[in-house]
Structure 1
Amino acid sequence: MESIKKCPEFNPEDCEPGTLQFDSDGCCQICKSRNCVLEKNVTRLRVDDCTSIEDVEVTSCTGHCDTKSMYSMKTKAMIHSCSCCKEENVNHQNVTLKCADNSEIVRDYVHIKSCKCTSTECVDQKTSG
């Protein structure tokens, strides 16, 4: 008897770089998911004609969190469950910027220390027409 395996929905963009592989029977692609991770970039910050004197670590939260819709027999309605990838812990940091006229200014920015999936309200998209 022959069985046909159906692979789960798969999007390589949801994978951590370098973790793409095939499952144990070589049938479906799998990877380590990028669920809501802290991403770091090092860059020079710019505000108008001013640029940071040193490179600054800029952080962001990226990845996917669970979202689902299902019908409830009890309430006879659709139940929506949504969460989004948001900052969990942050702190404010100062950066000194040098301007085109050689003056210096200090600005503060939010530096994300950690991220997590956070429940949010699912908004129904109503189309007019």
Structure 2
Amino acid sequence: MKYTTTSIVISGCSTAEPVEINSCSGNCGTSSMYSAEANTMMHYCSCCQEATTSQKEVELICPDGSKVKHSYIHVESCGCHVTDCDAGTTATPGTTRQRGRRR
């Protein structure tokens, strides 16, 4: 998980102090493997995303001195979640490019 401290600004109103905004990043497993039984390629993909979140509320101060409440999603933890692989990136049978040998 990545921890970032920044001000929240909405319609010119901003937090008096920077707040912690967490985000998820990192490597999760992906694989592509031939299945003899299915006679096709089997794909497994996962992505790093939020696992648990909470709602946080902050006070924004506007240029005219007024104050507004704003709630935002705070990331508590991250994890690898199974997702669909992009079918557009799979080569059709017989179209695999092979590297030529140098002489």
More strand by share: 2
Pairwise CA distance, 1:123: 2.1
Aligned residue identity for 1:78 = M
Asked whether 1:53 is paired with 2:16, we answer yes
Asked whether 1:76 is paired with 2:64, we answer no
Aligned residue identity for 1:79 = M
Q: Match for residue 96 of structure 1?
A: 59
Unaligned runs of 5+ in 2: 90-103
Pairwise CA distance, 1:102: 1.2
Q: Secondary structure at the match of 1:125?
A: helix
State the Cα RMSD in Å: 1.1
Identical counterparts, % of pairs: 37
Find the aligned partners of 1:93 and 1:119 in 2 and give their Cα distance.
Answer: 27
Find the aligned partners of 2:33 and 2:11 in 1 and give their Cα distance.
Answer: 48
Q: Match for residue 74 of structure 2?
A: 111
Kindly report structure 1 stretches of 4+ aligned residues shifted beyond 3 Å.
none
Q: TM-score by structure 2 length? A: 0.82
Asked whether 1:124 is paired with 2:87, we answer yes
Higher relative contact order (CA 8 A, sep 6+): 2
